[in-house]
Structure 1
Amino acid sequence: MASERVPEVTAAGAASAGKAPRTERGRRTLRAILDAAAAEFGEKGFHEGSVSGITRRAGVALGSFYTYFDSKDAVFRALVRDMSDQVRDRVAPVLKAASDQLAAERAGLLEFLEFVRGHKELYRIIDEAEFVDPESFRAHYATTADRITQRLVAAAARGEVRDDVSDVHAWAIMGMNVFLGLRFGVWGDDRPAREIADTIADLLARGLAPGR
């Protein structure tokens, strides 16, 4: 499993408007609040979770929360963006290091499965966003699909994948990965992540048609 690292915070995009931290200490506090919010909402859900529960988990005063966020809704919206960014940042290096696009898709799925197994709250938070903040929910998937589309089109130009790839292929790959993460990351880790990644890499390379 890849080693864990403390995720960075994109200050301008995390805190409420006009409340971005200006010091390293402030950024650490913001990171602690976001991590505590992930634990609070992941365990209790948005409606049962509370600002006071977040501050208790983070070990900060209530006033510190309102230094960076206007409300529970605001921290939830920030958390959805933050978790989406964490997935992106975790997967990006292995995509870049891969020898070709099929290897990149395999490596990306493997890294995603490992991430999900350590952050199972991701699914509850993103799923709740559909009802709590539909704009964030849609942005999470749309931006992910856009990134996949861009890398598939670039790979097609290099001759690594079929030349008619489009956003349809990107959404299909993303949907597959999302449900693989749910089954083999959240619901259980009874199969090695590498075995799953190998199976999907073979599927992408050869499809479902019988061999000739």
Structure 2
Amino acid sequence: MTDLSVSPVRDAAAPIVPATARGEATRRKLMEAAEKDFGEKGFHAASVSSITHRAGVGQGTFYLYFRSKEEIFAMLVREIGHELRRRMAIAVTASTTLEEAAHGGISAFLGFAQQHPGLFRIVQESQFVDEPTYREYYHLLEQGYRAGLMEAQQRGYIGGGDAEVRAWAIIGITHFLGLRYCLWQGQLPETEVLDDVTRFIARALNSPQGETLPSF
């Protein structure tokens, strides 16, 4: 009997797309289970059977939605990245100052990292499991930052400079804040930490070229 919860037509290169709401709900359960399994055990220790057991479905059901463990892992990295970028974009939409935008974006990232404790392990392991997907995760994140920085430059909110380089620098700051607080400490940083980082980024973006630094 044909399972009508997934599309009967499959392109070997395209993701398998559920054709019904029921199918999408099952796929979502598998993705959520995979995130927990990969996040807790790592890619190599996790398995299709452990993912389906956690999701409460049979192993045969898994292959209606994903062709392999590698495919669901890569799809998970992409979906995590998409949701992270969506939340950060929403967080800065209503910002009227550079400080508000920086604070909103960093807060959104850290909040997401707190809600998804497997984020760092999953993304970092993807470098060795599927490097193109790993690079895509960071390049798409960088593109979002760069677009915002270029717009801020055009409007005169920040000084001129290489938006791409600045974007990567901000990604580095937020990434290690997430490691330090959300992953290692298991909680969001205090308000004072966010305020300090916000001021640091705002000052760096507005610092005039050639400004003399104080002696240490």
TM-score range, shorter chain: 0.7 to 0.9
Matching of residue 141 in structure 1 with residue 138 in structure 2: yes
TM-score by length of 2: 0.85
Inter-partner Cα distance in structure 1 for 2:176 and 2:94: 25
1:162-201 mapped onto 2 (5 Å cutoff): 162-189=159-186, 192-201=189-198
What amino acid maps onto 1:81 in structure 2? R
Q: What is aligned with 2:92?
A: 95
- Structure of larger gyration radius: 2
What amino acid maps onto 1:182 in structure 2? L
Q: What is aligned with 2:69?
A: 72
Inter-partner Cα distance in structure 2 for 1:132 and 1:28: 26
Q: Deviations over 1:28-75 (max 9, x none)?
A: 111111110001111111111000111111111212210110000010
Higher deviation after alignment, 127-136 or 54-63:
54-63
Structure 1 gap segments, 5+ residues each: 1-15
Q: What is aligned with 2:47?
A: 50
Is 1:113–1:193's contact at 8 Å kept on the other side of the alignment?
no
Inter-partner Cα distance in structure 2 for 1:196 and 1:23: 45
Higher deviation after alignment, 61-70 or 123-132:
61-70
Q: Name the Cα RMSD after superposition.
A: 2.0
Shift of 1:146: 1.0
TM-score by length of 1: 0.86
* Number of equivalent positions: 197
Q: Deviations over 1:90-120 (max 9, x none)?
A: 2221111211333112111011111111211
Runs of 4+ residues deviating >3 angstroms: 189-193, 207-210
Is 2:15–2:66's contact at 8 Å kept on the other side of the alignment?
no
Inter-partner Cα distance in structure 2 for 1:19 and 1:181: 33
| SS of corresponding position for 1:47 | coil
More helix by share: 1
| SS of corresponding position for 2:161 | coil
Is 1:126–1:137's contact at 8 Å kept on the other side of the alignment?
yes
Is 1:156–1:165's contact at 8 Å kept on the other side of the alignment?
no
Structure 2 gap segments, 5+ residues each: 1-12, 208-212
Is 2:47–2:69's contact at 8 Å kept on the other side of the alignment?
yes
Shift of 1:192: 3.5
Inter-partner Cα distance in structure 1 for 2:42 and 2:139: 23
